[in-house]
Amino acid sequence: MAKRAPVPDGVREQVAERARDRCEYCRIAEADTFWGCQIDHVISLKHGGTNDIDNLAYACAPCNRAKGSDMKATRS
């Protein structure tokens, strides 16, 4: 299995800035979360997604875990 390239720090910072330090799914402020926010691949790497900024979202841990790596909605 090939090792995936990490998202560069500069790209992580751009995603956080774009999101204004809020989860881009539920909009909770990062300061109001217990675990902070993470970089999420909107389309996962296993489905052909990339580390491009347009395919990355700033997500709180519960939203990121609820979405998982498969393509589905976090809410219906």
| pLDDT at res. 5 | 75
**Cα angle for residues 36, 37, 42 (degrees, 5° grid):** 160
Residue 19 domain-assigned (yes or no): yes
Domain that holds residue 13: 9-57
Residue 71 domain-assigned (yes or no): no
Q: Does the global pTM surpass 0.85? A: no
Listed in sequence order, the residues at least 6 apart from 4 whose beta carbon sits closer than 8 Å to its beta carbon are 45
Residue 46 domain-assigned (yes or no): yes
Lowest mean pLDDT among 12-16, 21-25, 64-68: 64-68
Q: In total, how many domains does the chain have?
A: 1
Residue 75 domain-assigned (yes or no): no
Tens of pLDDT, residue by residue over 26-72, are 999 999 999 999 999 999 888 899 999 999 999 999 999 887 776 65
Q: Hey, is 29 helix, strand or coil?
A: strand
Confidence of residue 76 (pLDDT cuts 50, 70, 90): very low
Paired tokens of 58: 């700033």
Going by the DSSP 8-state scheme, the letter that residue 47 receives in this structure is G
Residue 65 domain-assigned (yes or no): no
Residue 74 domain-assigned (yes or no): no
| pLDDT at res. 42 | 92
Residue 63 domain-assigned (yes or no): no
Residue 44 domain-assigned (yes or no): yes
